Structure 1
Amino acid sequence: MTIDSNTLFQNYFIKNKNYDEVLKSKDKINPNWVSLLSNLTKAGSDELTSRQKEIDWLMDENGVTYNVYNDPKGLNRTWDLNIVPFIIHQSEWQTIEKGLKQRAELLNLVLKDIYGKRELIKNGIVPQEVIFAHRGFLRQCDQIRYNTSKNLLIHATDLARGPDGRMWVVNDRTQAPSGLGYALENRFAINKAAPNLFSGINVKQPTSFFQDYNQMLIDAAPKNVSNPNIVILTPGPHNETYFEHAYMSTFLGYPLVKGNDLVVRNGKVWMKSLKELKQVHVILRRVDDVYMDPLELREDSYLGIAGILDVIRQQNVSIVNPIGSGVLENSGLIPFMNAISKYFLNEELILPQIASWWCGQEKERNHVLKNLTKYVVKRIDRSNRESLYFGEFLNKKELKKLKEEILANPYRFVAQAKIQFSTAPDFIDGKLEPRKVMCRTFAIAKRDSYSIMPGGLVRVAAERENLRVSNQRGGISKDFWVLTDKAQNQFQNYSWDNTFQKPVSDINDLPSHTAENLFWSGRYLGRALVTSRLLRMALNKMQHAQYDKSDTPSDSLKIIFEAITNITHTLPGFVGKGKEEVLKNPLKEMNSLILDNFRIGSLAQTLISFNNSYYSLRNLWSKDMWRVFDGIKKLWNKYDKKNEYSISTLIKLLDNTITRLIAFMGLIEESILVDQGLLLYFIGLQTEQASLTIAKTRALIVAHHNEDLEYEVLEALLTSHESLNIYRYSYRSFLSVENVINLVLLNDKYSRSLTYQLNRILKDISKLPVPKGVNGNTACYTLIHQLNNLVSNLDAKKLIVLDDNEALREYLEHVLSDISELLHQTSLSISDTYFNHSYQQNQLVNQNFPLQ
C-alpha cells in the first residue's frame, strides 16, 4: 500500500517532521499498519465519521468522564476516544514487555531498599539528596515490612517513541496509577462501535491480565486470611479519575469507600457498615501517599484513615501500592537507573530512558546551565501544579530566574533532553492527521514476576503541533492494539476464578457513605419530583387564567404562590418583604424557583444535590440509569438562569424533567437488590415525599376559604399530588376537605397518601440491621412506630373542624406540626444510627507536608 492510494492521508505529512508510526520510508506504509489502514480505506470517510459519532455517543451515554478542575466545559468532561487505534506488533512488544518487567522489578527493589537497608545511598549508587529531598519520601514509612510477594504491586510506565525508533521511558507512576479502567472501556467501546476495524487483524486481549490483577489483590491479604475483605479507596467524586474508581469497583465487584468509611480499632482497619464494623484486609487505594494517614502524615487530610500506618506496620492490612511508593515517581532517579540496574540485577536497562542530568552534581549542573535552552527542566518531584520549563521558549528574564532557582536548590532540579514524541494517525474532520502520542503501560505483581497488560492507555495531543500530551490539557485517547500472527479469541471472559469463597454481599456489606448517599439520593429524587409537579401545577394555573404581566394574580394563585414559597423554603419569595413587587411579575419568581442553581430550595439546586449524591454512587447504577440521568443534565444545560422563559417553555421543561425522573425511579429497582442497599433509597424517598405531603397540606388546607376559592385550592393540591383523577374515581363527588384529607393523608391503600408512606418507612426501617451494642429496637424505629400510631388514630372529621373565627383548622395544623417534627426526628435518628462519620483523631505534633 502506498500513501498516494489512500485519500484519507490527504495533507497527512505536510510539515510533519516527527518519527511517524505509519511511515516506514518516504512513500511506504509500515507493514504492521497495512491491514488496519486497508480496513479504514474500505470503510471510507463517511462511514468512519458515523462510527466516530457512535463512539462519542457511547462515551457520553456510558458516562465515561475525566474531571478537569476549573474547566469551562464543566467538571465532568466526557472522555474523548478516537476511532483509530495505536498499533504495535508482538515482535516489538515482546522486547517492550521484557523491559517493563525488568523496570517493575528494579523499582520494586529500589522501593524496598529506600525504606530498608538503603544500600544505594550507602554504596554511592544514588546521592542521598535524590531520595531525601523528594517529597514522596516519607520517613514515617521507614523499615515497614510487607507480607506481599512484592513491595511494588502495581507499576505504570509512560512510553514514547524515541529518535532511534525504540520506545523510551518517560515517566513512572507508582502511587496510585490511573488508566486501567479507561483502557478497558476504550477496548469495549471500539469493539462495540467499530468491530469492522478488527477484520483480518489479530489483537491480543487483556483478559488474563485482569484475572492476574484480581488475583494479585486476593494474594495481597495478610497471612492466614482465606476470605479477604477488599475495598477500593477513593478521594471522592471530584477526583479527576473518579469515573475509573467507580468503574473498577463495578468491574471487580469490590466496595468503593471513602476515608470516613474506614476506621482503625485494636490494630486493624474496619469498614463502617450499617450493622457493625467489618475488618478490611486489602485496600486498593486511589488516594495519594501523604493524605492516607492524618494521624502521622498530613493532619488536614479528610481522605485517609487515621492510624492506618500503625496497622500496616503490624501487617494487619495490605495497601496497594504501599504508602510512600510515590518516592519512585522521581525524575532524579533516571540518571542513575543504569547504575541501579547493574547493582541489583547485573543487567543493562532494556528500555532506554530520556537523557537526564541531575543538577545536584557540579559537572552536570554546569552543563545544564550552559545549555539551558536545549533542555526541559523540572523538579525531581514535580506535581501537576508546578511548572515544566521548556528552555527554548523562555525569554532572558525567565532564563535568569530559572538559573537562580537551580543555583539556590540544585538538588531539586533535573534537566532532560526534549524528546520528539512519534506521531500516529487520528481521524479528525473526515481525514487522518498526525498527532503526538504517549503510551501508558501497566505491570501487576504476579508471584515472583510481573504480568504486563498487552497494550494499555494511549494519550494523544489535542492539537497537531502540540508539544504536550495530557488529559488535563484536553488530550484524546486511543485503544492500544498489540498485534499477533496467531488467531485470537475476540470474546473476553472477565469472570474471576477466585481462590476464596466470597459470599453474596448484603446490606451488612454496605459502606456507611454509600448507605448515606442512597438515603439522600432517595430524598433528593423525591424532592425534585414533588417540587416539579408543584411548580408545573402553578404554571398551568397561570396559563389557564390567560395570565398577563399587567394582571393581578387571582386569589387562588396568590395562595398557591405563597404555598410554593413556604414549601420550598425560598424566602422572601411570595410571602416576605416586597412580596407586592414579586406578585406584579410572578413569572420572574417562577423562573428563579426553577432555574437558579445558586438559590437554596430551587428545583435547579435540588437537582444539583441529587446529581452529587447520585454521582457518588455511580458504581451501583446501571447504564440505562446513567443514560436517563445524563438526559436530565443535557435537558437542563439548554436553559440559562439569566433568561426569563415563557410559561409554556417552563411547563415543557418540567414535563420532560418529570418524565425522566419517573423513568429513573423505575430503573433504580433494577440496579441493586433491596438487601444490598435499596432499602435506604426507599426510606429516603418515602421520608421526603411524606415530609412534602405534610408541607403541602399545611400550606393549602389549614386555612379556610370561601366555597369557590376552597374548591380551586383543593383542586390545586390534588393536581400537584397527581391525585385528582383517583379522587374523582374514588369519591365521585365534588371536592371536599374531608375527602381530600382521607385520600391524601389517611388512606392506607393509596401509595401517595401520608399513611401509606409512613407505613412503608416503618416496614423498611424494620428490615435494617440493628447495630451492635443496641438492645431492642433502634431509636429511629421507635420514632417511626410512634408516628404511625399517631396517624392511624386520626379522624378526618375532627381534623376539618374550624376555630372559633372559622379561619383556621387549628387541630389539623397542630397534628401536622407534630407529625412533621416526629418525621424530622426520625430522619435525624437514621443519620445518627447508620451514617455517623464523626470519628477523628488528631496528631500530637503538627507536621507540614507540601501539596503534591
Structure 2
Amino acid sequence: MSVLHDYAAALSQSPLIPLSDADSTGMPRFDEVIAPEGSLRPAWKALAAATVGMTAAEMARVDAEISAALADDGVTYTHREDGARPWRLDPFPLVLDSATWESLQVGLAQRAELLNAIMADVYSDQRLLADGVIPAAAIVAHPGFIRPIARASAGSTHPLLMTATDLGRDAEGEWRVLADRVQAPSGLGYAMQNRLVVSRLLPELYQEAEIHRLEPYFAAFRDALLQNAAVDDPDPRVVVLSPGTHSETAYDQAFLANMLGFPLVQGSDLVVSDGDVWIKPPRWPRSKPVDRVDVILRRVDSAWCDPLELRGDSQLGVAGLVEAVRRRRVRVVNGLGAGVLENPALLPFLPAACERLLGEQLRLPAAPAWWCGVDADEVVARLRDDPESIIVRTLDGTAVTGGVDEIGALIAAHPYRYVGVERIALSQAPVWGPTDAAESRTLVLRAFALHHGQAYRTLAGGLATARDDAGAPLTKDVWVLKSDAAEADQGLPADAPMTMIPSIPPLAPRALADMYWAGRYAERAEDALRLIVATHTRFDLARDQKSASGDVLLDVLHRLAGTRWLDPDAELRSLLLDERRSGSAAHALAGMRAALEGVRDQLSGDTWRVFSYADRAKAALRESTHSPQIADSAERILTGVLSLHGVTANMIRDTGWHMIEAGRYLERCQQLCALLSATTTSRRDSRVDRDVLDGVLLAAESLVTHRRRYRGYGRVRSILELLIKDGDNPRSLAFSVERLRASLAAMPDSTGATRPERLLHELAETIDGLDVAAVAAASGGERPALTAFLAETRRQLARVSDAIEQQHFQGGPPSLEMSSLSLIEEMSRS
C-alpha cells in the first residue's frame, strides 16, 4: 500500500483527530489532501501519478535526505532558550489548486491594502480614531504604537511594503485569518529554501506539477525596494537591518539579503550624520562616511530601532533614525510603528474600517473576536460557559493562562488590555511522522503580499507550518498550481530592461571583523586538527608503549588549549568535542561558525557543509569508544574545513575576501610559532627527535615537500629553513607574512605606512635576515636563539593583530544606554 492510501484509510476510521488539551474542540477537521468520501482533492489529483504510488520506504528515504540537505545548507531556527535548532521540512507539500488560490489572493491583496490604509491614517490624520471606527484605546495602549512618528509630516501613503498573513481553514474549508504579521514579516527566505530542497529531492513530483516558481517574486521584491528610495538616486543603496545572529530568524534574514543582493547589516554598522543614514566607516567619527543608505528593509522591531527616541536600552538600532525618517532622508520598510497592526483588538473593527477606507466588504474573515474594552461581559460569559471555545489574549497577542476566575479578574481590572478570540478547528494535512507513516497535523499557512507597481501582489506560494506532538514547528513547501501551463510565474511579466549600474556593496567594520576572525578560526581549526592527527599517529604507532614523541606533540596542544586529561585518548577527544575549551579544535570550529553567521549574506551556501561534515564526524566520535575513531573523526572534520578553501577561492576579491585571507595567514604564523616550539629542545635520543620532527612537518603539511627537497629525514636546520624562510612554501612564516601584507595593502584604508603595515614590514625584514644555522644551534640541550625568535615573533604578531583591529574594525566609541548618557552629562555639569 502507498503512504496516501494508508493515510486515507486511517481518516475513514477516525474522522475526529485528537488534539492536545490546550486546543481541543472536538470538531471534525477539513483535510487538505483527502475529501470526505476518501478520494484525493482536486489539487492532489493532478499529482496522482507521482504521489499515489509512493511507499513508506521511499518517503523515509526522502525525509532523511531532506534533513541532510538542510543540515548541509546550514538552515536553522534560533530558539530563544535552546539556541539554534535544525530547520524541519516535511516531504508532503501543501498543494492548492488555481481556483482556490485565485479567491484567496484577492482577499489577501485587499487585506494588505486595508492594513496599509489603517497605518497611514493612524500615524497622520487619525480619522478612524476620531470617528470611533476603531477605539482609540485599542491603538494607543498597544506597545507597537510609536508616538514620535504619529504626525502628518512623518506619514507615508505606503508605509507597508510587505505584509504576511497567517491563515487557517475552518471545518467547512473556509479560510480564516489567524494573525497579521507586518512588524517585520519573516518566513519568505525559509519558503524559498523549502522550495529549493523539495524540488531537488522530489524531482518527479515537482516536474509533473505545473506550479508557480518563486524566483520572479524575489525579483519584484528587489525592484520594489529600489523604487522606495527616499531620495532621487540612480543607484539607491538598500540594506537589510538585522538584530544579529541571535535573532530567531537569523537564517531567514541572511538568506533574504543574499537572494536580493543587498548587504545584511546590524545597528552598529550604521550611523546618522548630517541627517542621512550611512554605513559606518572604520575609525568613525575621525573618518568621513561615504556610503549613504536610502532604504532600510528592517527586521528589527520598531521600538528597538532608535535608542534616542524609542527604547534607550536598545543596542540593535541606530541613534537618530527616527529623525532621519521624519525628514524623509531614508525610507524604512515596513514603516516604523507597523507593529500596532498586529493587534488582535483590531479584528472586530476591520470590517467597518474596510468599508470606510476602501468602500468594500472585507473578503477574508478572521476568527470571531471581541475587544474587552467594549465586550468584556461577552468574553467573560463565553469563558465561563465553555473555556475551551475561546482564547483570551493581550493586545500584543500573548495568550493569557490561568483559571476562569483569575482571567475574569484581569479583564475586570483593565478591560482594554484584553481580547477574546474564538477557537476554530484548523484544517489538517498529512506529515511524515516518526512512526514511518503519514500522520495528520493541524496546519497554518503564512501568505505574503508585496506592494509592487501600483498594487499589492500576493506570493503564489508561502510557508505552511504544522505542529508535531512535541509542539516543535514542522514546515511544508506551498505549491500553487497554475490554471494553464502558459500562465506567467507569479502573474508577473518578464523583467523590463533596466539600466545596468555596477555596484560594490561596502562592508561595515563589524562585517570585516567577522570575516577576519572567520579566517583566523578556520586556520586555527585546521592547524589544531592536523596536530591532533599527528599526535594520535605517534601514540598509535607506539601502541601499548609510552610514546615520547607523542608526549612532545601533546605538549604543544597543551600550550594552545591547556591540559584537561592525563589520558592521551581522552585529551584528544576533548580537543575535538569540547566547544567551551579555548584553544581546542571544537572551540575554533564554533568560533568560525559564529563569525560566518554574521556575514552569511556574503557567502556561498556551500560554506555550511563544513559544519555539517564536522557535526556528523563529532556524532560518530561520541558514539564510539575506540581509539581509531579519534583520528578518523579528526580527518573527516579536517576535510570539511579544507573545503572552505575551495569556497573562499571562488569569492570575489573584495575587502571581505582580503580580510579572510589576512586572518588566515596571521593565525597561520601564530600556530606555526607554537608548533615550532616542539623543536626548541635537543634533549632527546635520535629516534624520538626524528619522530618529533616528522610530526612537526606532518602537522605543518610539509612532510612530503621536505622529503623531496632535502632527500632524507629532517634535520632541525632544514626544517626551520623550510618552515620559516622559504618564500615558496605556503606553510612558511615568510610566505604567510607576505600574503598578510598583500591582503592588508588591498584594503581601502591602507596607505603603505599604516601601523599594521609598518609592523609587518619590520617582521618581514627580521625573517629575511634570520640566520637559520644560528637559531638551529643547540646549547645545553636547548635552542635559546630559536626560543627567543619564536617568542618575539608571537609578540610582534599580537601587536599586528591589535593594529589591524584599530585600523580596520573600530567603528567609533561603543554605544551607551540612555541612562548611561544621562549620568555622563550629569558628571560633566558637576
TM-score by length of 1: 0.87
In the TM superposition, what is the alpha-carbon distance from 1:15 to its structure 2 partner? Answer: 3.6
Query: Alignment partner of 1:360: what SS?
Result: helix
Query: Is 2:113 the partner of 1:105?
Result: yes
Q: How does 1:568-607 map to 2 (within 5 A)?
A: 568-570=560-562, 585-607=567-589
Summarize the alignment of residues 114-513 of structure 1 with structure 2, pairs less than 5 Å apart: 114-143=122-151, 145=153, 150-198=158-206, 201-272=209-280, 277-361=290-374, 362-368=376-382, 370-371=384-385, 373-382=387-396, 386-389=398-401, 398-428=403-433, 431-463=437-469, 473-488=471-486, 499=498, 501-505=500-504, 509-513=506-510
Structure 2 counterpart of 1:36, from 27, 35, 47: 47
Alpha carbons of structure 1 residues 714 and 402: separation in structure 2 relative to 1, 3 Å: same
Query: What is the identity, as a one-letter code, of the residue corresponding to 1:544?
Result: L
Where does residue 626 of structure 1 map in the other structure? 608
Sort the Cα spacing of 1:658 and 1:374 in 2 relative to 1 into closer, same or farther, 3 A.
closer
Aligned twin of 1:792: 768
Instruction: State the Cα distance separating 1:100 from its structure 2 match.
Output: 1.4
Aligned-partner Cα distance in 1 for 2:360–2:536: 77
Q: CA deviation at 1:269?
A: 1.1
- Deviation string 1:758-798 (CA, Å, 9 cap, x unpaired) is 11111221111126xxx763221111111111211111122
1:212 CA displacement: 2.3
Q: Which amino acid aligns with 1:138?
A: I
Question: Which residue type is aligned with residue 71 of structure 2?
Answer: D
Question: CA 1:186–1:417 in structure 2 vs 1: closer, same or farther (change >3 Å)?
Answer: same
Do the aligned partners of residues 560 and 44 (structure 1) sit closer, same or farther apart at CA in structure 2, a change above 3 Å counting?
closer
Q: Distance in 2 between matches of 1:497 and 1:637?
A: 50
Matched, 1:674 2:626: no
The structural deviation recorded for 1:32 is: 3.6
Aligned residues of 2:613 and 2:637 also touching (Cα < 8 A)? no
CA contact (8 A) 1:148 1:220 kept: no
State the distance in 2 between where 1:82 and 1:232 align: 29
User: 2:392–2:399: 8 Å Cα contact kept in structure 1?
Assistant: yes
Cross-structure match for 1:578: none
Q: Residues 411 and 270 from structure 1, CA distance in 2 versus in 1: closer, same or farther, beyond 3 angstroms?
A: same
Structure 1 letter corresponding to 2:747: L
Q: Which structure 1 residue ranges, 5 or more long, are not aligned?
A: 467-472, 574-581
1:723 to 695, 702, 706: 702
* Residue 75 of structure 2: aligned partner: 64
3-state secondary structure, aligned to 1:407? helix
User: Secondary structure of the residue that 2:180 maps to in structure 1?
Assistant: strand
Residues 361-395 of structure 1, C-alpha deviations (whole Å, 9 max, x = no match) = 25545544544615433334336xx5454xxxx6x
SS of corresponding position for 2:240: strand
RMSD: 3.0
Offset at 1:847? Answer: 12
Instruction: Assess if the C-alpha contact under 8 Å between 2:239 and 2:293 holds in 1.
Output: yes
Q: Is the 8 A contact 1:359 1:412 kept in 2?
A: yes
In 1, the alpha carbon distance for the partners of 2:69 and 2:687 equals 54
SS at match of 1:588: helix
Counterpart CA distance in 2 for 1:503 and 1:80 is 38
Separation (CA, whole Å) in 1 of partners of 2:764 and 2:159: 57
The match for 1:652 among 611, 632, 636 is 632
3-state DSSP of counterpart to 1:619: helix
| Equivalent in the alignment of 2:553 | 560
2: CA distance, partners of 1:787 / 1:495: 57
SS of equivalent residue, structure 1 residue 301: coil
Is there any run of 5+ residues in structure 2 with no aligned partner, and where? 17-27, 823-830
Higher mean alpha-carbon deviation, 115-124 vs 183-192, is at 183-192
For residues 195 and 636 of structure 1, the distance between their equivalents in structure 2, rounded to whole angstroms, comes to 32
Alignment deviations for residues 44-66 of structure 1 (CA, whole Å, 9 cap, x no partner): 44444444444344333323322
CA distance in 1, matches of 2:238, 2:122: 27
The answer as to whether partners of 1:202 and 1:488 remain within 8 angstroms in 2 is: no
Q: Which amino acid aligns with 1:681?
A: I
In the TM superposition, 1:698-709 aligns within 5 A as: 698-701=677-680, 709=688
Q: Which amino acid aligns with 1:211?
A: A
Provide the C-alpha distance between the structure 2 equivalents of 1:150 and 1:724, rounded to a whole number of angstroms: 65
Measured after TM superposition, the shift of residue 591 of structure 1 is 3.2
Q: Is the 8 A contact 1:211 1:494 kept in 2?
A: no
Query: Which of 691, 707, 717 pairs up with 2:670?
Result: 691
User: Which stretch shows the higher mean deviation, 412-421 or 534-543?
Assistant: 534-543
Tell me, in whole angstroms, the C-alpha distance in 2 between the residues paired with 1:638 and 1:66: 24
SS of the residue corresponding to residue 477 of structure 1 reads strand
1:458-503 deviation digits (Å, cap 9, x = unpaired): 112324xx9xxxxxx3122222222333114798999965755441
Aligned-partner residue type, residue 351 of structure 2 = N
Rounded Cα–Cα distance in structure 2 between residues aligned with 1:5 and 1:634:
32
Alpha-carbon distance between aligned partners in 2 of 1:748 and 1:537, rounded to the nearest angstrom:
25
CA distance in 2, matches of 1:338, 1:677: 51
Distance in 1 separating the partners of 2:612 and 2:495: 31
Shift of 1:349: 0.8
Post-superposition shift, 1:602?
1.9
Distance 2:619 2:552 in 1: 31
Query: Counterpart in 2 of 1:579?
Result: none
Does structure 2 conserve the Cα–Cα contact (< 8 Å) formed by 1:262 and 1:305?
A: yes
Q: 1: CA distance between counterparts of 2:553 and 2:482?
A: 71
Quote the residue 2:527 is aligned against. 530
Distance 1:403 1:846 in 2: 41
Q: CA deviation at 1:707?
A: 5.2
Q: Superposed, which structure 2 residues align to 1:508-519 within 5 Å?
A: 509-519=506-516
Name 2:598's counterpart in structure 1: 616
User: Quick one: distance in 2 between partners of 1:460 and 1:165?
Assistant: 17
Aligned residue type for 1:103? R
On the 8 A contact 2:314/2:817 being kept in 1, the answer is no
Cα shift at 1:5: 11
CA distances 1:720-767 after superposition (whole Å, capped 9, x unpaired) = 222233222212255332222211111112111111111111122111
Q: Which segment drifts farther, 775-784 or 325-334?
A: 775-784
Deviations 1:407-426 (Å, cap 9, x if unpaired)?
A: 22211111111111112333
For residues 649 and 495 of structure 2, the distance between their equivalents in structure 1, rounded to whole angstroms, comes to 26
Distance in 1 of aligned mates of 2:349 and 2:757:
65
Q: Is the 8 A contact 2:74 2:608 kept in 1?
A: yes
1:783 aligns with 2:759: yes
Q: Cα–Cα, structure 1 residues 118 and 375, in superposed 2: closer, same or farther, change >3 Å?
A: farther
CA shift for structure 1 position 807:
4.1
Structure 1 residue 12 and structure 2 residue 4: aligned? no
Q: Secondary structure at the match of 2:465?
A: strand
- Measured in 1, the distance between the counterparts of 2:237 and 2:695 equals 53
Aligned mates of 2:655, 2:580 — CA distance in 1: 34
CA distance in 2, matches of 1:423, 1:795: 77
Higher mean alpha-carbon deviation, 196-205 vs 437-446, is at: 196-205
Which residue number in structure 2 is paired with residue 544 of structure 1?
541
CA contact (8 A) 1:157 1:169 kept: yes
